[in-house]
Amino acid sequence: MATQPALSIHGLTKAYGNVAALRGVDLEVGRGELFGFLGPNGAGKTTTIRCLLDLIRPDGGQARVLGLDPRADAVAVRARVGYLPGELSIEPNQTAERALRYFAQLRGGVEWAFVRELAGRLQLDLRAPIKNMSKGNKQKVGVVQALMARPELLLLDEPTSGLDPLMQQEVYRLLGEAQAGGATVFFSSHIISEVEAIAERVAIIRDGRIAETLDPHDLLRRSVRRVRVRLREPLPEGALVGVLNATDIQRDGANLLVQVEGEMDALIKALAAYPVIDLETERPTLEEVFLTHYVEN
Amino acid sequence: MLASYPPALMAFFGDVMTMNTPQGYFGVYYASYMPLIVGIFVCSAAAGLLAGDEERGTLDLALAHPVGRTALFWGRWLALMVATGLILLLAWLGWAVTLPFTDFDVSAVNLLLGYLPMWAMLGLFGALALLLSMVLPSARLAATTAGALLVGNWLLSGLAALNDNLQLALDLTPWALFQGGEAIVALAWGPLLALKGSAVALLALAWWLFLRRDIRVGGERSWSLRGLRRA
Ligand SMILES: Nc1ncnc2c1ncn2[C@@H]1O[C@H](COP(=O)(O)OP(=O)(O)OP(=O)(O)O)[C@@H](O)[C@H]1O
Ligand SMILES: [Mg+2]
């Protein structure tokens, strides 16, 4: 028997009043993939994920989760999926442990040693009351909650939001391990570097449509970065001519602002001939990538 | 204390002539105040049963677990009715233990039966509050509306004794089906079942609306016709 894809979505539409949040989302995620769902604010990431769990109802189109219809088989789908909401709210008047025990009970029990291991790795104090927790610590409770039952499919809505860089790294490792253990991981994000760092495949959603599905390395290859160079003395005229992928040069005395597309190598080699004091690169935000890439095309 | 009230006020509180009978006493002290006081609690609890969690944002994650909406709806409703039943049971217990020390000629079991109409009445207003919470933008508004209807109905039931036209109006409200103190003497099953039946009808509608509802991640809904139609 051929296994069904983890997610299979066709022409999914959803409007909130007159706001069209999804305008026909098509997406296919295979079993065992670590899949990034990238999109700027308001693109429809949360809406898509919540449709998959039957928390909201699409107006049109079709979605299958692990081969099941989320509407008709809601309970069966949820039993096999771990979900981390993008806007996490947990009953505040209880400790993390109680909240997690309650969720575990709804799932018919989980291996508690694993919960402790997850909490330990995320440096989460299980005895702390939820209401006293910082945003990041609440997020950790959410992450533990999603992972603790070792579900077949993880649907994570911005899993690293509110976490410090060290904890983000730990979450990336946990996702990697979940995948190694056979799970499919589907996570949303609006941070390019995060998706690049861990995802094997990325779908880019924008204005309620999938703009494209690609290999995350292509994101880097096509993304435009700004490089700010401070030199000891102004560059001679024509110094960077021939550096094909560097454009939009602004000069202000010995300061340069260069826009580079793709790999940095040519620019670095060209600059090597001059005395460089400082060099800074800025990653563009997702919205800037869209503006440069999709608007131009 | 009640005896010193002017006759019109007495009429509001119940039939004065029966005050010295168990059913009259029960009618005045319990069957009129209890539904009101416990009723306000039930209305606010029922309105918040699902919509409250939704506004706090906790329903999102709860419903992402293997729990069906139907199970959640009826499970919570059952829990509320059990809690309400326990409150009434406590009230009954207080009565039952003091009964031997009074000269009222009523058995503890009959007294317990007397609480059934009250329980049914609370169930009806609870069901109304729950239904309103599925239709109105906020749990707070649903609780207030259901509570106001309850208080209004209670006032009407008191005033009806003073005016025939009001009595006609009262006959169109749920209170007309509510057997007060007389229930401990001869429980009328017909009105009781009618109360239960209406509650079940309201609940069925609320359940149907909950099944097709988009669960919010927090906050109250806004007023919009479209929102009502989609609810
Ligand atoms: N309950 C709602 N009522 C009305 N509009 C909504 C509602 N929820 C979302 N929207 C709108 O639908 C669109 C998609 O929202 P969604 O939350 O899916 O975006 P997102 O990609 O998750 O964004 P973010 O990165 O900010 O989380 C947005 O335009 C948003 O304003
Ligand atoms: Mg979102």
Task: Specify whether A215 is located in the same domain as A250.
Answer: no
CA pair distance A156, B160, nearest whole angstrom: 59
On whether residue B211 sits in a domain, the answer given is: yes
Which pLDDT value is given to residue A1?
Answer: 47
**Chain A interface disruption, residue of B53, B55, B60, B230, most A CBs within 10 A:** B60
Max Cα–Cα distance, chain B, nearest Å: 61
With 0-12 CB in 10 A as exposed, 13-18 as middle and 19+ as buried, what is A72? exposed
Task: Specify whether A176 is located in the same domain as A241.
Answer: no
Q: Are B42 and B77 in contact (CB under 8 A)?
A: no
Pick the last residue of a domain from A176, A192, A219: A219
CA pair distance A11, A240, nearest whole angstrom: 47
Bridge partners for B131 per DSSP? none
pLDDT tens per residue, range B33-50: 778 888 999 999 999 999
Task: Specify whether A46 is located in the same domain as A148.
Answer: yes
Task: Specify whether A123 is located in the same domain as A207.
Answer: yes
Tokens at residue A66, please?
A: 């692990």
**Chain B interface disruption, residue of A18, A73, A89, most B CBs within 10 A:** A89
On whether residue B60 sits in a domain, the answer given is: yes
> In 3D, which of A153, A151, A128 has the Cα closest to residue A141?
A128
> In 3D, which of B216, B226, B205, B42 has the Cα closest to residue B124?
B42
Give the distance (Å) from ligand 1 centre to CA of residue A209: 13
Per CB-CB distance under 8 Å, the chain A contacts of B217 are: 46, 50, 85-87, 89
Average pLDDT, chain B: 82
DSSP string covering B76-94, please? HHHHHHHHHHHHHHHHHHH
Q: Are A184 and A153 in contact (CB under 8 A)?
A: yes
Which strands form A7-16's sheet, in the order they lie side by side?
A19-29, A7-16, A60-65
Pick from B60, B68, B224: CB nearest A89: B60
On whether residue A1 sits in a domain, the answer given is: no
> In 3D, which of B192, B169, B185 has the Cα closest to residue B123?
B192
Look at B127 and A193; give whichever has higher pLDDT.
B127
Any ligand 1 atom below 6 A from CB of A46: yes
If one residue of A9, A14, A18, A19 were mutated to test the ligand 1 pocket, choosing by the most ligand atoms within 8 A of its CB, it would be A19
Q: What angle do CA A216, A218, A220 make, to 5 degrees?
A: 85
Q: How confident is the model at residue B1 (pLDDT cuts 50, 70, 90)?
A: very low
pLDDT tens per residue, range A159-187: 999 999 999 999 999 999 999 999 999 99
Judged by its nearest atom, the ligand closest to the C-alpha of residue A38 is 1
**Interchain contact, A56 vs B61, CB within 8 Å:** no
- Which segments of A262-295 are extended strands (E)? 276-282
Task: Specify whether A235 is located in the same domain as A210.
Answer: no
pLDDT tens per residue, range A95-137: 999 999 999 999 998 999 999 999 999 999 999 999 999 999 9
Task: Specify whether A256 is located in the same domain as A150.
Answer: no
Neighbours of A75 (CB within 10 A): 14
Q: Which domain holds residue A254?
A: 225-293
Give the distance (Å) from ligand 1 centre to CA of residue A136: 22
Q: Are A179 and A14 in contact (CB under 8 A)?
A: no
**pLDDT surpasses 60 at A295:** no
Bridge partners for A9 per DSSP? A27, A63
On whether residue A264 sits in a domain, the answer given is: yes
Any ligand 1 atom below 6 A from CB of A39: yes
Any ligand 1 atom below 6 A from CB of A51: no
CB-based contact, A87 to chain B, within 8 Å: yes
Pick the last residue of a domain from A190, A219, A248: A219
Task: Specify whether A48 is located in the same domain as A85.
Answer: yes
CA B142 to chain centroid: 14
Interface of A with B in 36-75 (CB under 8 A): 46, 50, 53, 55-57, 74-75
pLDDT tens per residue, range B53-93: 999 999 999 999 999 999 999 999 999 999 999 998 988 88
**pLDDT surpasses 60 at B5:** no
Which pLDDT value is given to residue B231?
Answer: 45
Per CB-CB distance under 8 Å, the chain A contacts of B68 are: 74-75
Three-class DSSP category at A272: coil
Crossing angle for the helix pair B139-159 and B33-48, to the nearest 10 degrees: 160
Q: Are A16 and B225 in contact (CB under 8 A)?
A: no
On whether residue A2 sits in a domain, the answer given is: no
CB-based contact, A104 to chain B, within 8 Å: no
On whether residue A11 sits in a domain, the answer given is: yes
Pick from B57, B58, B68: CB nearest A74: B68
On whether residue B224 sits in a domain, the answer given is: no
Q: For B27, which DSSP code? A: I
The residue count for chain B: 231
Three-class DSSP category at B185: coil
Q: Are A128 and A137 in contact (CB under 8 A)?
A: yes
With 0-12 CB in 10 A as exposed, 13-18 as middle and 19+ as buried, what is A229? buried
Q: Hunting for tokens 């309970």 — which residue is that?
A: A75
Task: Specify whether A63 is located in the same domain as A186.
Answer: yes
CA pair distance A271, A295, nearest whole angstrom: 31
Q: Which atom of ligand 1 is nearest to the CA of A44?
A: 18
Q: Which atom of ligand 1 is nearest to the CA of A47?
A: 18
Q: Are A275 and A240 in contact (CB under 8 A)?
A: no
Which pLDDT value is given to residue A38?
Answer: 93
Pick from A55, A83, A107: CB nearest B215: A55
Task: Specify whether A89 is located in the same domain as A153.
Answer: yes
- Model-level ipTM above the cut of 0.90: no
On whether residue B78 sits in a domain, the answer given is: yes
Per-residue pLDDT, averaged over B160-179, amounts to 76
On whether residue B165 sits in a domain, the answer given is: yes
On whether residue B184 sits in a domain, the answer given is: yes
Structural domain total, chain B? 1
The phi and psi torsions of B103 (rounded to 5 degrees) equal: -100, 20
pLDDT tens per residue, range A190-224: 888 888 889 999 999 999 999 989 888 877 667 77
Task: Specify whether A180 is located in the same domain as A60.
Answer: yes
Pick from A56, A106, A108: CB nearest B215: A56
Name the residue at shortest CA distance from atom 31 of ligand 1: A42
Q: Which atom of ligand 1 is nearest to the CA of A43?
A: 21
Per-residue pLDDT, averaged over A19-44, amounts to 94
Which residues of chain B have a Cβ shorter than 8 Å from any chain A Cβ? Answer: 56-58, 60-69, 212, 214-215, 217-218, 224, 226-227
Residue B179 vs residues A263, B55, B103: alpha-carbon distances, Å: 84, 37, 23
Which pLDDT value is given to residue B16?
Answer: 53
Cα-Cα-Cα-Cα dihedral sign, residues B220, B225, B226, B231: positive
Look at A15 and A219; give whichever has higher pLDDT.
A15
Three-class DSSP category at A26: strand
**Interchain contact, B215 vs A145, CB within 8 Å:** no
Helix (H) or strand (E) holding A274: none
CATH of the domain at A204: 3.40.50.300
> In 3D, which of A158, A191, A190 has the Cα closest to residue A175?
A158
Look at B87 and B105; give whichever has higher pLDDT.
B87
Q: State the distance between the two ends of chain A, measured CA to CA, in whole angstroms.
A: 42
Q: Are A169 and A121 in contact (CB under 8 A)?
A: no
Structural domain total, chain A? 2
Pick the last residue of a domain from A219, A254, A276: A219
Q: How confident is the model at residue B168 (pLDDT cuts 50, 70, 90)?
A: confident
Q: Hunting for tokens 């919570």 — which residue is that?
A: B76
CA pair distance B161, A288, nearest whole angstrom: 74
CA pair distance B124, B193, nearest whole angstrom: 11
Q: Which residues contact A241 (CB under 8 A, 6 or more apart)?
A: none
Any ligand 1 atom below 6 A from CB of A32: no
CA pair distance B53, A55, nearest whole angstrom: 14
Pick from A75, A86, A87: CB nearest B68: A75
**Interchain contact, A85 vs B218, CB within 8 Å:** no
Task: Specify whether A244 is located in the same domain as A121.
Answer: no
Task: Specify whether A232 is located in the same domain as A90.
Answer: no
On whether residue B102 sits in a domain, the answer given is: yes
Tokens at residue A132, please?
A: 């006293």
**Chain B interface disruption, residue of A47, A50, A55, A161, most B CBs within 10 A:** A55
Per CB-CB distance under 8 Å, the chain B contacts of A91 are: 56, 58
Any ligand 1 atom below 6 A from CB of A21: yes
Q: Which domain holds residue B84?
A: 23-218
